[in-house]
């Protein structure tokens, strides 16, 4: 709105049902791109250009709360009663990338993929797992409900229901994952948050945040954002063809959990 506070109104103009998301926010109000009707944060129509203004016209609005760069929406219409969870990078980390990617995969499959590290040396051979050897045994040691550390990789992961995964990757040297270490034993760390929002059937809007506890100056490197974007797309691309293939098979009744093993 005009104070820079997040708001959420139904994506459908009260006039001819044009998507308001195609319009713009002008003076803190969302303006429909079709005939210019404008709506305030409460969804009330405040402007109907080129005709006589009719009072009492509006669209539905929802309660929202902003916390740590995430906007939480209450679709049930209830006032938020509990505090929203905190999801900021740990103390001492600098956030370097915050990206949004639209992925043509159902969010459950994508979350399973993000929490799976055993696939890295087979799938991510052109990106972060380039040169990784294939361990005798890959395991996730759970040290809490849905929190664990990977063995032999220095990577801690957690799943925050219903759709967030967090990971802290220990680096022996910048960009280098060393086997046989715990994340906490490494001098440098990369922190990642993946939020997998179901956006429409078979589609996920992926919010990605990456932070480092070393080289804070990297954020000032020109065009660094497009470098991170390209890297994220590359890694995701390596997964996507596999997960899309799974999705196609699931659609005709295949079971993706027919033979689970210890690292699953
Ligand atoms: S459809 Fe939105 S102003 Fe006409
Ligand atoms: Fe992957």
For ligand 1, what atom is nearest to the CA of residue 32?
2
CATH class entry, domain 8-74: mainly beta
Distance of CA 119 from the midpoint of ligand 2 (Å): 7
For residue 222, pLDDT over 70 is answered with: yes
Distance of CA 212 from the midpoint of ligand 1 (Å): 45
**CATH code 2.102.10.10 region(s) in the chain:** 8-74
Mean pLDDT is highest, among 121-135, 161-175, 224-238, for 224-238
What is the band of 232 on the pLDDT scale with cuts at 50, 70, 90? Answer: very high
State pLDDT tens for residues 191-220.
999 999 999 999 999 999 999 999 999 999
**CATH code 3.90.380.10 region(s) in the chain:** 94-250
Q: Helix, strand, or coil here: 42?
A: coil
| CB 39 less than 6 A from any atom of ligand 1 | no
Distance of CA 19 from the midpoint of ligand 1 (Å): 9
| CB 231 less than 6 A from any atom of ligand 1 | no
| CB 13 less than 6 A from any atom of ligand 1 | yes
User: Rounded CA gap, 211 and 189, in Å?
Assistant: 8
- The pLDDT assigned to 180 comes to 75
State pLDDT tens for residues 19-76.
999 999 999 999 999 999 999 999 999 999 999 999 999 999 999 989 999 999 988 8
Helix-helix angle 107-114:224-251, to 10 degrees? 120
CB of 171 closer than 8 Å to CB of 145 = no
Q: How many CB atoms lie within 10 A of CB 66?
A: 12
User: pLDDT over 70 for what percent of the chain?
Assistant: 97
Distance of CA 198 from the midpoint of ligand 1 (Å): 27
Q: What is the mean pLDDT of the chain?
A: 92
User: Rounded CA gap, 23 and 37, in Å?
Assistant: 10
Q: Which CATH number fits domain 94-250: 3.90.380.10, 3.20.20.120, 3.30.1330.60, 3.40.50.720?
A: 3.90.380.10
């Amino acid at each position: 709105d005009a104070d820079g506070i997040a708001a959420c109104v139904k994506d459908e103009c009260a006039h001819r049902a044009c998507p308001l998301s195609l319009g713009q926010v002008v003076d803190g109000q969302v303006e429909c791109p079709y005939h210019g009707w404008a709506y305030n944060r409460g969804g009330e129509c405040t402007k109907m250009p080129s005709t006589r203004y009719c009072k009492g016209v509006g669209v539905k609005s929802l309660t929202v709360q902003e916390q740590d760069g995430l906007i939480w929406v209450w679709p049930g219409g209830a006032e938020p009663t509990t505090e929203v969870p905190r999801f900021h990078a740990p103390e001492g980390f600098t956030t370097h990338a915050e990206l949004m990617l639209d992925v043509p995969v159902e969010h459950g499959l994508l979350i399973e993929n993000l929490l799976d590290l055993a696939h890295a040396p087979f799938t991510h051979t052109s990106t972060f797992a380039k040169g990784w050897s294939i361990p005798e045994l890959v395991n996730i040691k759970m040290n809490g409900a849905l929190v664990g550390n990977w063995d032999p990789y220095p990577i801690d992961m957690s799943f925050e229901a219903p759709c967030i995964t967090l990971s802290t990757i220990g680096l022996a040297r910048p960009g280098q994952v060393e086997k046989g270490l715990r994340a906490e034993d490494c001098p440098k760390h990369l922190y990642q948050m993946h939020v997998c929002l179901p956006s429409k059937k078979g589609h996920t809007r992926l919010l990605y945040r990456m932070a480092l506890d070393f080289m804070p100056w990297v954020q000032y490197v020109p065009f660094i954002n497009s470098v991170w974007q390209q890297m994220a797309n590359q890694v995701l691309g390596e997964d996507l063809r596999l997960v899309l293939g799974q999705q196609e098979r699931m659609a005709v009744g295949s079971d993706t959990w027919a033979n689970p093993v210890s690292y699953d």
